[in-house]
Structures are given as C-alpha cells and as structure tokens.
Structure 1
Amino acid sequence: MRMRDKAIHPADAPLYPIREVSRLTGVNPVTLRAWERRYGLIRPQRTPKGHRLYARDDIERIERILQWLNRGVPVSQVRELLDQPRVVETPDPVAGDWPSQRQHLIAAVESLDLLRLDALFNQCMALYPVDTCLRELFKPVVDELEERWHDQLGATLQRRTLEAFLRTRIGIRLYHANLTSRGSVVLISRLPEDQGTLWDLLVALAASQHGYQVHLFDAPLPFSELPLAVERFKASALLLCSGQAERTDLIRRQLPRLAEQLDVPVGLCGPVARIRQSELQDSRVVILGDDPPQAIAGLASLVKG
C-alpha cells in the first residue's frame, strides 16, 4: 500500500468489500467500478488478488457523489465539485446534461433506433443509481412521449417498440435480482384501460432496486383473481399502475372493494394516482403517485416483513 493511502486510511480502520458498499449506498457494483475507472471519483484499496476494499471515507464520498447527482449535476462534472470546499453552491440543474439525454432518448424512440436506445439505456444505468435514472431520464421521457403520442402517426409502433425494449432489459434485471433478494414479495399489474406496460415496468424497476422480490404481470389480471394471486405468491403488497384515468366505476367501486378484501396494501401508481387521488381519499387504496422511486419509498412503511 502506498504511504499516501496509509495516511488516508489508517491500518486499524474497517474496510468493506464492494458488495457491502453497494448494499450500504444503494449504488450497484458496476456503477462503482465505472465511477472509479472512467471518472476517478473514488479510489478504493486493493487486496493482493485485486479485490476492491472501501474505507468509511470512501463511503462518505460516494454519498456526496449521490447528493450531487440527485441535484442534476452530470457525473462528468462531479469530481471538480468534490474537490472544492463544502460551501460551494449547487450549480443550476439546467446546466446538467439531463435535458440533452432526454432528447437523445426521445429521438431514438421516435426513429426506432434500437442500437442508440440500447447505448443510452446502458450508459445511464452504468453511471447513475437506478432511482436517479428513473427520476431524471426514464419517467420524464415517458411523460413527454405520452403527450406526443396523442393522434400521432406511428405512435403505437413507437410505444410497442419502447415497451418491448424495456420489458427485455428490465425483465433480465428482475430475474437476476429475484434470485438473490430476500425482500418482501410485491405483485405489480396494470389496470384494464392502460394502453401499455411502461408505467408498471418503471415501478417494477424501482421496487426491485429497493430490494423487493417483484412479480410483474404483462397483462391486467381480472380483479376476481387478484386475491388468489396475492395468496399464492405470498405477496406483501399489490401495486396497480396506469397512465390513464380508468373507468369511474373501477376507481370508485371495484378498486376500494378489492382493497377491503385484501390483508395487504393495495397501491395505485402512475398518472392515474394523480388524476383520481381525490376520489380515493376515504378508501383503503394507497395513493403512491406517479414518481416510481417515491412510490416505492412510500410503500416501505406499509409492507410487513
């Protein structure tokens, strides 16, 4: 070990392997390695076999990186901010590259450029925490695309292409995460009038990132079968998603009745939660909103186990 490293990390200070650091910070190992190799944001020690070991101040530095990223600062600009005194003011988020990334992603969808779509998705997921990707890129893009898709020629083709792409990428992540997760089981399904699977895919990605075992249904289940699904999968919560307002009868009668039948929380996610919030205030349906990370954070206090 170099003398400078000894000065920074005393010999008796605890050291953490990358998987433990990932658990503590919520940043996956692939992203931690990218921050180290591509941007020099962190410098962990190495064992004789080359395994990374992180000290407590490395973890604190990662938490500071997350603070800057959550304020909209591009990862490429974070290093210079970390090296400045703590009193430095936060740059205007408009100066970040998120607006540019959103427009690139929208252009890839509209041109059906799958290679570009894949590159943008992989780049974001490798460099930023999942919650940041959802909040700053994927949700705003879905919001804008759904506005553009009203009466637009080719809208259905664009929507189905994006859904198929995300279903594959997110499905792979869910599969591998479920193999190792010991978290509570969450069932996620869309409501009948939703035109696609975009909202339930985003909510499923957020839930998986927060440690839940996620069972995602591609098509809406009949309300009569949802209690059976909760029972058979031993689910701790049921999340229903939609980008539409949905039928008034479903919102005012069927959904509250379903929530009364179940012993687990029934959460409503996506634009439907914002549109119909006032009509469900006196029911047992939990309004989780249309921000996937916030929705899953709001679920945490309600889930048993």
Structure 2
Amino acid sequence: MADQEGKYNIKAAALMLGIQPGTLRAWERRYQMIAPVRNDAGHRLYTEEHIKILKWLIKKVNQGFTISQAVSLMGHNQSQMDSEALNLKQDNPLISLTDSLYEALIHFEHERINEIINNLFSIFTMEKVIIDIFSQILKKIEDSFSAGKIVSAQKYFSLSLIKARVETIIHSLPINVHQNKALCINWSNDWDNIELLMFSFYLRKRGIQVINIGKFSSEDENDQILDMIHPDFVIICCGVQEELKDALLVVNHLTVKHKDLTIGLGGRAITAMKPSDKDLYSSFIFGQTINEWEIWLMERMVF
C-alpha cells in the first residue's frame, strides 16, 4: 500500500524526474496517464507508483519515442513496461527500408522511392517517418555529399523530393480558422533547411496553422506582416553564422514591440552559438529533437 500513498508534491516529483513542473502538468492534462492524489489544499501528490510510471515514460522519450507514443506503448502492455519489445533491432524493417530509400534517392529511382516511402508510412506513424526517418536520411545525404560520395545533383534531387513530400502532407492537414498561427521565417534563405521544415510539420500536427515566409528586409516590413497575419508564434530559423546577428536583432525587436508574441529560435547557427550567448536566448530556443519541441511547446500553450 505504501506505493499508493501520495508522498511527493509536483516540485519534488519534477526534480526527481529531471523535467519542469509545467511539462509534467501538461502531460497529465493531455494524456491522463496518471491521476495524482490531492491533499487537503488541493495540491497534487505523487505516489511511488506514479514516479515509476513517469520514469518509464521519460526513459522511452529519451530513446526517441514521443510522449504520446510512449503513453500508447504503456497502454498496450502496462504489465511489461520495463520490456524493450519495441526497440529497433537489426532485423527490424526500418533499417532495410531506410537503406533502400537512400540508395533509391541517390540513383534517381522515382518509382522505387515512392514504393519505399509508402511502405514506411504503412508501418510507422507519420511523425516517426517525417521527423525521425526522413531527418536521418537527409543527414546521411548531407554527410555523403560533404564526404564526396555523391554529387550536388544527387543531393539536390533527394532534398527536393523529400521536401516536396513533407510540404504536401503539411498542406493536406485540415485547417481550422480558430487555430493558433505560427509565422515561420527561414532567415538564411537556405532552401534545404530541413530543421524548419520538420518543425513546421510538428506545429501543424499540434493544431497550429503555419505560414512560411522568407525573411524580413526591414523593421517596417516586419511590423506590416505581423499586423496583417496576427500570429501567436514567430519561429525564426537561422542556419548561417554570418546571418545570425541580423536574426537576433529581429528577435530583440519583437520582444520589445510585440510582447504578446511567443518567439521560437532554431537552426544550425543557433546550435553553434557560444554557451554564454546561447544563455541570453535560452527561453526562445526550441531545440533539435521532437522531445525538446514537445517540452518547449507545452510550456507555452494551453491544450
């Protein structure tokens, strides 16, 4: 019975688990995977069993699952939570399919590419395919190009095809005029900026309307576009170090003049910032993984 007694308040539980209290509240509200007991004052109290469940979920998230996938996995077989039944193994079709997709892309095999991608979507979730698998493929393409294993035409074809496929899926998702809006700015004008593309898909799947534009040329244009669109979020992605200073000036301007906006900041130039500089903008940086995105968004939205 001791495992069922409420022992830890939300601050203590969050500290034990290594997550923010806001994240824990958001997970409970959205997924109802546990039901903390309440003390006389109405405050949450977590039992040992709750902590055990939450530690298991966080372990799965750290292995690459989204929190929603981890909750679903727990629900399918809660009695065997500690098993690794869904871990990818060497004989898993994922490995052969991703290798086959890479080969088909660099050999311009349209029919084979579509066949493999359709197969991936039939086996894995849409998020798994787009955010995890496509990202891995495109990184392999980029690495191969940098190492001189493929030429620019192979890289361009591969990136163009996957980018078009993801954009088609993004545009096919239903739009609700009452959704929150995110204005996504690719500051570096880097057509193959995959991180912003993946984050745009993630936002659309979370019910946020996404409007992708280039970059602002002036503060006047900045304010004009904001007045026209009235976004709830402004997402700025900067991939080129030389462009970073101007991108950060826009962030500074937005925080002063548009205090109601939620600003997100990402891209390779942000990742490469010095720790001291990154600390100044830490509240804006949405991260590089779906787990980081999930935490960043849940701390800024009410679902």
TM-score normalized with structure 2 length: 0.62
Alignment of 1:231 onto 2:234: no
Between Structure 1 and Structure 2, how many residues are aligned? 235
Deviations 1:231-282 (A, max 9, x none): 3122110112244444353355454344433331221233333222732322
Could you tell me which of 121, 145, 151 is aligned with 2:141? 145
Partner amino acid for 2:111?
Answer: L
Question: Which shows bigger deviation, 200-209 or 107-116?
Answer: 107-116
Partner amino acid for 2:114?
Answer: D
The CA distance in 2 between the partners of 1:277 and 1:300, in whole Å, is 26
Could you tell me which of 111, 114, 118 is aligned with 2:114? 118
Structure 1 residues 164-203: aligned runs within 5 Å:
164-180=160-176, 182-192=178-188, 194=190, 196-203=192-199
The CA distance in 1 between the partners of 2:159 and 2:254, in whole Å, is 28
Q: Where does the alignment leave 5 or more consecutive residues of structure 2 unmatched?
A: 1-29, 32-56, 67-72
Query: What's the secondary structure of 2:299's corresponding residue?
Result: coil
Alignment of 1:271 onto 2:268: yes
Cα RMSD, aligned residues only: 3.9
Could you tell me which of 196, 215, 222 is aligned with 2:217? 222
Structure 1 residues 90-109: aligned runs within 5 Å:
90-91=84-85, 92-95=87-90, 96-109=92-105
- Following TM superposition, by how much is the alpha carbon of 1:137 offset from its aligned partner in structure 2, in angstroms? 0.5
Partner amino acid for 2:285?
Answer: I
Structure 1 residues 1-305: aligned runs within 5 Å:
86=80, 89-91=83-85, 92-95=87-90, 96-150=92-146, 152=148, 155-180=151-176, 182-192=178-188, 194=190, 196-217=192-213, 219-222=214-217, 224=219, 225-250=221-246, 253-263=249-259, 264-276=261-273, 278=275, 279-283=277-281, 286-292=284-290, 294-295=292-293, 297-303=295-301
- Following TM superposition, by how much is the alpha carbon of 1:89 offset from its aligned partner in structure 2, in angstroms? 1.9
Answer whether contact 2:104 2:113 (CA < 8 A) is retained. Answer: yes
Query: What's the secondary structure of 2:80's corresponding residue?
Result: coil
- Following TM superposition, by how much is the alpha carbon of 1:155 offset from its aligned partner in structure 2, in angstroms? 4.2
Query: What's the secondary structure of 1:276's corresponding residue?
Result: coil
- Following TM superposition, by how much is the alpha carbon of 1:90 offset from its aligned partner in structure 2, in angstroms? 0.5
Partner amino acid for 1:226?
Answer: N
- Following TM superposition, by how much is the alpha carbon of 1:205 offset from its aligned partner in structure 2, in angstroms? 1.2
- Following TM superposition, by how much is the alpha carbon of 1:292 offset from its aligned partner in structure 2, in angstroms? 4.6
- Following TM superposition, by how much is the alpha carbon of 1:215 offset from its aligned partner in structure 2, in angstroms? 1.2
